[in-house]
Amino acid sequence: MSEQHHHRCLITPVKEETPRPCWSVMIPTYNCANYLRETLASILAQDPGPEVMQIEVVDDHSTKDDPKAVVEEIGRGRVGFYQQPENVGHVKNFNTCIQRSRGKLIHLLHGDDCVRYGFYHKMQSVFDAHPQLGAAFCRHVFMDENGHWQCISELLQPESGILDNWLERIVIGQCIQTPSIVVQRNVYEKLGGFDNRFAYYYEDWEMWVRIATKYPVWYDVEPLAVYRLRSASNSGRTVRTGENMQEVRKGLDIVQSYLPAYMPKSTVSKLLKANRKCSAQHALRTASQMLVIGDIRTAIVQIREALKCSLSLEVIGWLVYFVSQGLARRVMIKVK
């Protein structure tokens, strides 16, 4: 077994005698029970029944709330519950979700996110028509901690369909949020689970790249998934420490080690260089936002991490632009 495979959880096939529903909706949670009601309600509103859909919450040993009580209240026996005997971290908890799944299609839905009505019907019809797909995802809505919509993800192509040159596109940057994507279980069985070298961030991007190396991927233009932005989440905390961008660079190193098997090294180098520029731009945009709200320390952390990603002239230009825009908006807020 190669070193990179050693870091991937082995996903064992479902035992032959086990009933196989079409769906496994697996809900990883950790200290987010106050959002779990909305998550479960969004699934149960389109529940086709236990013969078609497994629904299970997998809790990473929450310490601040009681997700089991929410499952019992909302699920009323329909939703399964499993709790880790100790906290294992979100990557291992994701892999537990996959291993405990029985369905042919796996949907990992964070316990603070939700889906819009029609998500499961639309996605099942896609796989029924295109069984060769490794995964399918849709546009997603960003909402805040209070459930208010903020924006919709970028439109990747004008019509729904199998993505062209998807490997080259996903290598440049992450554009998928986990609640928007469905993966066939046999894909995880062949490629392994999420890479446990990631502790906080970017394990999903590496997985989507890995799938793109082997399988076609479908994109649906309708925004049927909703991703919640939370300052207390893993992503919010790692922004403050800079660990988010450190994980980005780790991901680039990992991906760089196996991409040459699927494309020329010169192409790999060009794409990863573009990723570093995009990653730096993202960090600088975050720094600008932090300046607006007066979080100078986080802004400095993100600027430092941006420059570790890329020192190109374009990045320096972005640095000047984003920081100036952040300072300008902060001044405007103070004046108002």
Kindly report the CATH number assigned to the domain that includes residue 109: 3.90.550.10
Mark the ranges of the chain whose per-residue pLDDT is less than 70.
Answer: 1-4, 231-235, 326-336
**Per-residue confidence (pLDDT) for residue 311, from 0 to 100:** 87
What is the number of domains present in the chain? Answer: 2
Q: What angle do CA 145, 150, 152 make, to 5 degrees?
A: 125
Same domain? 31 vs 101: yes
Same domain? 293 vs 203: no
Same domain? 99 vs 247: no
**Per-residue confidence (pLDDT) for residue 120, from 0 to 100:** 98
**How far is the C-alpha of 53 from the C-alpha of 138, rounded, in Å?**
20
Q: Which residue has the tokens 């509103």?
A: 45
**Per-residue confidence (pLDDT) for residue 174, from 0 to 100:** 87
Q: What angle do CA 260, 266, 270 make, to 5 degrees?
A: 105
Could you tell me where the DSSP H helices lie in the chain?
3-6, 33-44, 67-70, 90-100, 119-129, 166-172, 185-191, 203-212, 234-241, 243-258, 265-292, 296-309, 313-335
**How far is the C-alpha of 100 from the C-alpha of 24, rounded, in Å?**
9
Same domain? 70 vs 192: yes
Same domain? 125 vs 55: yes
Write the pLDDT tens digit of every residue in 122-171.
Answer: 999 999 999 999 999 999 999 999 899 999 999 999 999 999 999 999 99
Same domain? 221 vs 313: no
Same domain? 208 vs 59: yes
Same domain? 195 vs 268: no
| 186 residue type, one letter | N
Last residue of a domain, one of 230, 245, 272: 230
Same domain? 221 vs 251: no
Contact 148, 226 (CB under 8 A): no
Model's pTM, two decimal places?
0.89
Phi, psi angles (nearest 5°) of residue 189: -65, -35
Q: What Rg do the C-alpha atoms of the chain give, in angstroms?
A: 20
Domain limits at 122? 3-230
**How far is the C-alpha of 332 from the C-alpha of 336, rounded, in Å?**
6
Residue 264 exposed, middle or buried by CB count within 10 Å (0-12, 13-18, 19+): exposed
**Per-residue confidence (pLDDT) for residue 58, from 0 to 100:** 98
Contact 306, 283 (CB under 8 A): yes
Same domain? 166 vs 302: no
**How far is the C-alpha of 5 from the C-alpha of 168, rounded, in Å?**
22
**Per-residue confidence (pLDDT) for residue 200, from 0 to 100:** 72
Same domain? 154 vs 273: no
- Annotate 313-328 with b (16+ C-beta within 10 A) or e (fewer): eebeebbeebbebbee
Same domain? 130 vs 259: no
- What the block records as the tokens of 149 is 């919509």
Last residue of a domain, one of 174, 205, 230: 230
**Per-residue confidence (pLDDT) for residue 103, from 0 to 100:** 98
Last residue of a domain, one of 206, 230, 254: 230
Phi, psi angles (nearest 5°) of residue 27: -115, 95
| 8 residue type, one letter | R
**Per-residue confidence (pLDDT) for residue 104, from 0 to 100:** 98
